[in-house]
Structure 1
């Protein structure tokens, strides 16, 4: 399905610097909006619900999985993380350019749904 907005997917192993690269890109181009993932892990430090992540109980996350509400989701270090189907589809349908940071497998799943997604793979130093 074609959308007026773009979906950029940055994938890399943990510690490869994807968050730093995405942050730098967003400082250069204010039109790019970050995607906010859902997770079952508790907030760390100054993280806020809806800013860094949507923090969900395992039961809430299970409900979203059952409703097919995620484009992709995965178990990572004992917690689950997922990308909201509705949020991404709505934003790119309205012309927004969205950037998403996920793992390799999630990026491949996104590409199956968003054929026009731009996948960017970062290798660790």
Structure 2
């Protein structure tokens, strides 16, 4: 296990979280990574499963919540979003 600190970039959509992280990953490629969230929403045009989000159905997501597979999750606009433990 690494002793490096964990940084969380949180903010509303369009605030620039991904832009800041992409800049940090370019400058420090061995120190920063990107967590891909899970969601029950349908992919938007151009989004790829496992890159933009891990897309899944609601029943699977709810089952994985009950199995403790998520660090955090929330429902927004009828869709569930979450960060897995793995």
* Residue of structure 2 equivalent to 1:71: 71
Cα offset, 1:48, TM superposition: 1.1
Partner of residue 48, structure 2 = 48
State how far apart, in whole Å, the 1-side matches of 2:12 and 2:21 are.
14
Map 1:61-100 to 2 at 5 A.
61-85=61-85, 87=86
**Runs of 4+ more than 3 Å apart:** none
RMSD over aligned Cα atoms: 1.4
Q: Tell me the residue number matched to 1:30.
A: 29
Q: Distance in 1 between matches of 2:21 and 2:67?
A: 30
Q: Secondary structure at the match of 1:73?
A: strand
Q: TM-score, normalised by structure 2?
A: 0.86
Residues 52-81 of structure 1: per-residue CA shift (max 9 Å, x gap): 111000011011111011000011232111
Mind listing any 5+ residue stretches in structure 2 that lack a counterpart?
A: none
Relative contact order (alpha carbons < 8 A, sep ≥ 6): 1 or 2 greater? 1
Q: TM-score, normalised by structure 1?
A: 0.61
- Considering fraction of residues, name the structure with more helix: 1
Which is strand-richer, 1 or 2?
1
